[in-house]
A = this chain, B = another copy of it.
Amino acid sequence: IGGHIQFFKLPNINVTASYTDSSDDETSPRDKAQVNTHGSSDFCVKNIKQAEFGRREIEIAEQDMSALISLRKRAQGEKPLAGAKIVGCTHITAQTAVLIETLVALGAQCRWTACNIYSTQNEVAAALAETGVPVFAWKGESEDDFWWCIDRCVNTEGWQANMILDDGGDLTHWVYKKYPSVFKKVRGIVEESVTGVHRLYQLSKAGKLCVPAMNVNDSVTKQKFDNLYCCRESILDGLKRTTDIMFGGKQVVVCGYGEVGKGCCTALKALGAIVCITEIDPICALQACMDGFRVVKLSEVIRQMDVVITCTGNKNVVTREQLDRMKNGCIVCNMGHSNTEIDVASLRSPELTWERVRSQVDHIIWPDGKRVVLLAEGRLLNLSCSTVPTFVLSITATTQALALIELFNAPEGRYKQDVYLLPKKMDEYVASLHLPNFDAHLTELSDEQAKYMGLNKNGPFKPNYYR
């Protein structure tokens, strides 16, 4: 079951407090007969009566997703998705609802299911079902429920999908396995996650990809926001919410000076932490030097550190031996891709005591009383302990919408049975749709200037390899 940074953490701690309580209702949604106010029962959610609360959440989300709203307005006249039948499998949150309702406004029919058994906001699912979108999802599905929901989405009488929007590849996998004939009508797959994209490239390599697929995970805009800009904020947020640490004067080592590491270092330094980094790549190391960070080996500094953060994508970056040498109270956490960066397994040994002091916070206690503070058991800190701003999700959702429009409307032959990156020009379009949020005013090239630069006035402005 897929799942990744962007959506997983949405049902955050603060929010849940204000959600209607449904803990008293133990009946499985599959066993309930529910009808929306329009008489439809083609959906399966926790409680259709929570629709109003969910609607408000969607409205709040819309305020920070004006790019999608603007897309609705610009493209609404021509209904670029008229005729599109989209089956979708994503986290179901207020932000996804804004995406789905945008697709509908642009002419599409949608059926939707959840890509994660925990992440569904029940009230939002209810609100979507109430407006007539067939949604099959609730928070706390069993694995059997999960596949049942996907199946109900795909396998319905008198309706056959011609577009797939997937996040993690499970929906695509199910269709491949159970309903391969569906692909005869499908014009394309839009995939959002690292995992799902990886699966598509494997299919393509194996010659089994039978429709075009768009990799929206690697668009420049999305990458910058998911990594540099988002981590710059979430490292602070994640550390604060879990430990109430004061950043000023803290000695921090950040392992890895890629985009995630750069984001973490910038933020921590700005708030008065004294940051050093480790790197294996001399080019990144030299950048760290120029940016004012000492480049060290972890073992050289481990005894002095107050905080250790991994962002390498590698394994065993923090070893048991290094954990043994940390000082009392040292905080250890992971902002990288995998949960193997810190050798957490090595800490599950009889001589060490684990004490859960808060949600997502464990004290590992050595025989001599030394405590190391481990966050989120070494899993992604910002996935587990902070939230993702709606603005970042807006960039992802807009990219998804544009990819759907592009694939659905592309003339025969533009896309083969392969995996494509979003064209540079559309990447730039996603960015431009978000500029009004900042009241940013773009300069336009004059004809003379465009000619001088050898550029089209409307872009793309940079080569494809530009990052």
Chain A residues engaging chain B, CB cutoff 8 angstroms: 12-15, 17-18, 56, 60, 63-64, 220-221, 224-225, 228-230, 232-233, 236-237, 240-242, 244-249, 251, 267, 269-274, 278-298, 300, 304, 313-317, 328-329, 355-359, 363, 371, 386-392, 427-429, 431-432, 434-435, 437-446, 448-449, 452-453, 459, 461-462, 465-467
A317 → B minimal CB distance (Å): 8
Also in contact, A280 and B244, with CB within 8 A (given A64-B329, A274-B294) = no
Roughly how many angstroms separate A285 CA and B359 CA in the complex, as a whole number?
36
Report 13 cross-chain contacts, Cβ distance below 8 Å, ordered by A residue.
Answer: A13-B14, A14-B242, A15-B358, A225-B290, A229-B246, A245-B389, A251-B439, A274-B293, A281-B462, A282-B459, A285-B442, A286-B438, A465-B465
A278 contact from B269, B294, B443, Cβ within 8 A: B443
Contacts of A328 in B (CB 8 A): 63
The reply to whether A445 and B280 form a contact with Cβ atoms under 8 Å apart is yes
The reply to whether B438 and A279 form a contact with Cβ atoms under 8 Å apart is no
The reply to whether B233 and A248 form a contact with Cβ atoms under 8 Å apart is yes
Copies of this chain, whole number:
4
Q: Which residue of B lies closest to A18 (CB)?
A: B358
Most chain B Cβ neighbours within 10 Å, of A269, A290, A317, A448: A290
Also in contact, A246 and B391, with CB within 8 A (given A286-B435, A443-B280) = yes
Also in contact, A281 and B244, with CB within 8 A (given A292-B272, A357-B18) = no
Contacts of A287 in B (CB 8 A): 224
